[in-house]
Amino acid sequence: MNKINSLADLNRIREQHQTAISVRGQGGDAENQVYIKIAMATCGIASGARDTMEFMTEALKKRGVDARVIQVGCMGYCYAEPTIEVCLPGGEPVVFGGVGREKADEIIEKYIKGGELVDGIIPVNYETIQSKNIQNG
Amino acid sequence: MHLLVCGGSSCSAKDSERISHQLKKELVKQGLDETVQVIMSGCFGLCENGPVVKVVPDGTLYIQVKPEDAEEIVEQHVIRGKKVERLISSDPIPKKQLRIALRNCGVIDPERIEEYIARDGYLALGNALTKQTPEQTIDLIKASGLRGRGGAGFPTGLKWEFARQSKADQKYVVCNADEGDPGAFMDRSILEGDPHSVLEAMAIVAYCIGADMGYIYIRAEYPLAIARLKIAISQAREYGLLGKDILGTGFDFDIDLKYGAGAFVCGEETALIHSMEGNRGEPSLKPPFPAESGYMGKPTNVNNVETLANVPVILLKGAEWFSSIGTETSRGTKVFALAGKINNVGLIEVPMGTTLREVIFEIGGGIKDGKKFKAVQTGGPSGGCLTEKHLDTPIDYENLVANGSMMGSGGMIVMDEDDCMVSIARFYLDFTVEESCGKCAPCRIGNKRLHELLQRICEGKGDLGDLVRLRNLGEVIKDTSLCGLGQSSPNPVLSTLDNFYDEYLSHVVERKCPSGVCKDLLEYYIVEENCIGCTACARACPVGAISGERKEPHRINPVTCIKCGACLEKCKFDAVILK
């Protein structure tokens, strides 16, 4: 890891990683990869998110799906933990709640492989501030 | 194509199952059941406008749908591609929640600093260090109207200014991560989901007040938050975003962790500082304020986690943007941990000024099992209970205090008709008595006496004089306690006295608990219509309190009854009840 020595350096690193992040949650993935985010805060883990993550990582690999499973923080849906967000290449992200092994399996087989939605979708009921319109100054 | 039918509790109660069934039937009729799927989804948070059906991918949202609308939706929308205008809301339905402090939670991987940087992380710090003076930055925070999110709501910019004005060879920045309210977990969630936002904000504070060292005081019960903070700190050091000569500007700043043992009082800033120094976690009189003499006797600025998480965005998007959100006196958003008898238990963030009704009935999806709303407790052990009549009050610091509660750190516990408010008040007093540090008499002795009074009332041994004593003692504790803990601990008692006086009266006058919670006030009864006279209860009763002829309804003698519950267990006909 190189040290960031100036604001210009920081901006360079930011732009470098921005493309990779922006594909998530916005669709339009250049690499045709499926992105899966798993809410891994204390409460999510206590409800079994770690098990879901391990299962999905392994199952996706075995079944030959090009996917990246990453851990994120709390999504806020305590009543529906473990919660995951799936973003198919070029698609809108979809949040699923109550995802144990069985549900994870169904999501991989039906939604990830066939684009067919399954029960347990959680409509996102919040707006997140867009950092895009931040003045770079 | 997919049709999403809301399967949240509120929409389910309004027949959304039948809508789903009807849609499927129509699709089969049209031979479209292979290409169009009907899916039950979770709550949309639009409960007042339910049941809701969403069409994917075009995103059309139909509201107040009835089962008989299914035919039209399938024929018009699915087949002809024409939206059913009459079911579309004429006004756009705004999303009730706005995530500022939680902006990165659930979005980025908290263990990778690159993801935070990609979301404009450390840019606010970079801009401040290279383009703004500390005074300008403080003015910006002052203009934004940001106030402390830990509970008291002190203006953040002002706090920084005081610390800046103190002259000293060494100053400190402290992040208060000693989240102690029962049921509140927003600070933990921020630290676990977006630790860098707090680190960046601390560096900004340090630049503003002229400090080069910061500490995060975090409770040892938060191991995951601690682990992620450690990773975040080491990554920031590797990138040179913490340490010497940050971004080549000559500014030095580093952060370390201090662990708390989980005492509630250590959330109070002077007690927190004493605990950090290795002394007993007891508050001390202010002044001197930490801004003059804090950690190790040096000027110290203490901010709460959620407050800090707001700072970088305010610097990037401007004071005007931030102050455009919220109410006149309370700008921005507040995170609440929504819990209790509510359908969608969750961590939410709403603009200040949102009403309790919107939070409970829209975002929260209403009360569990269709029960009646009774009260909502805000502000934890320092707050009070708000009732039906407060539902349309916009939430902000001033309104909550005016109604006998407070913002606190943002716990929100919803209660329904089955909750006894006297017991609730006693529950919070249990907590305060346990957590009082014992330094000052009003809090140490007063709360204990308050608790005893409540205990008597719950046991049916109270009298009308006790209600007067509760109020008088509560007021005295509030006026004379040393720190915020004692100054606010009677709030749950006083607010329930104000709002549920009838319930207290029932306890002391009729010796009844209307919600059926206080065990000592309950009596066992036999419902005549249900009793078939099987004698099972009479045989089970250890004290022979039950009498009656075989095949005739039995009776319980309340004087002999010891309330052991054996009869209730034995009865197979639901004839024995507690009331």
CATH class held by domain B2-87: alpha beta
Q: What is the pLDDT of residues B414-462, one digit of tens each?
A: 999 999 999 999 999 999 999 999 999 999 999 999 999 999 999 999 9
pLDDT of B132 over the 60 cut: yes
CATH code given to domain B421-510: 1.20.1440.230
Domain ranges of chain A: 24-122
- A24-122: CATH topology is Glutaredoxin (3.40.30)
Closest C-alpha to B241, from B208, B209, B198: B198
Q: Which residues of chain A have pLDDT under 70?
A: 1, 20-31, 130-137
Question: In which band, very low, low, confident or very high, does the pLDDT at B12 lie, cut at 50, 70 and 90?
Answer: confident
Q: DSSP secondary structure string, A25-73?
A: TT---TT--EEEEEE-SHHHHHTTHHHHHHHHHHHHHHTT--EEEEEE-
pLDDT at residue A27 in the model: 42
pLDDT of B95 over the 50 cut: yes
Helix residue ranges, H only, B459-500: 464-480, 484-488, 491-499
| Strand ranges of the sheet holding A84-87, from the earlier edge strand across to the other edge | A67-72, A34-39, A84-87, A94-96, A121-122, B37-41, B2-6, B53-56, B61-62
pLDDT of B110 over the 50 cut: yes
Contacts of B218 in chain A (CB under 8 A): none
Question: Where do the CATH 3.40.50.11540 domains begin and end in chain B?
Answer: 113-320
pLDDT at residue A129 in the model: 83
Is the Cβ of A46 closer than 8 Å to some Cβ of chain B?
A: no
Contacts of B6 in chain A (CB under 8 A): 123
pLDDT at residue B58 in the model: 83
Closest B-chain CA to A5 = B247
Q: What percent of chain B has pLDDT over 70?
A: 100
Structurally, what CATH architecture does the domain formed by B523-578 represent? 2-Layer Sandwich (3.30)
B106, A122: Cβ pair inside 8 Å?
A: no
Interface test with B, best of A15, A50, A85, A119 (most B CBs within 10 A): A119
Contacts of A45 in chain B (CB under 8 A): 224
A7, B126: Cβ pair inside 8 Å?
A: yes
Query: What single-letter DSSP state applies at residue B260?
Result: E
Structurally, what CATH architecture does the domain formed by B333-416 represent? Roll (3.10)
Tracing tokens 């190790």 back to the chain, one arrives at B296
pLDDT at residue B147 in the model: 97
pLDDT at residue A21 in the model: 64
pLDDT of B183 over the 90 cut: no
B114, A13: Cβ pair inside 8 Å?
A: yes
Closest C-alpha to A47, from A78, A75, A17, A20: A78
- Alpha-carbon distance A78 to nearest alpha carbon in chain B (angstroms): 5
Structurally, what CATH architecture does the domain formed by B113-320 represent? 3-Layer(aba) Sandwich (3.40)
pLDDT at residue A29 in the model: 44
Q: What percent of chain B has pLDDT over 90?
A: 77
* Average pLDDT along chain B: 93
| Per-residue tokens: B410 | 């943002």
What is the distance between the alpha carbons of residues B290 and B267, in angstroms, rounded to a whole number? 14
Q: What is the pTM of this model?
A: 0.88
B37, A43: Cβ pair inside 8 Å?
A: no
Distance (Å) of CA A129 to CA B99, B107, B410, B488: 6, 12, 21, 34
- Alpha-carbon distance A93 to nearest alpha carbon in chain B (angstroms): 11
- Alpha-carbon distance A97 to nearest alpha carbon in chain B (angstroms): 8
Question: Where do the CATH 1.20.1440.230 domains begin and end in chain B?
Answer: 421-510
B123, A129: Cβ pair inside 8 Å?
A: no
pLDDT at residue B219 in the model: 93
B344, A77: Cβ pair inside 8 Å?
A: yes
Of A5, A13, A117, the CB nearest to B248: A5
| Residues written for chain B | 579
pLDDT at residue A20 in the model: 64
Of A4, A70, A80, the CB nearest to B42: A80
Helix residue ranges, H only, B239-346: 269-276, 305-317, 319-323
- Alpha-carbon distance A125 to nearest alpha carbon in chain B (angstroms): 6
pLDDT at residue A1 in the model: 67
Tracing tokens 């962790």 back to the chain, one arrives at B257
Q: What is the pLDDT of residues B373-424, one digit of tens each?
A: 999 999 888 889 999 999 999 999 999 999 888 888 899 999 999 999 999 9
- Alpha-carbon distance B5 to nearest alpha carbon in chain A (angstroms): 10
Average pLDDT score over residue span B125-134: 96
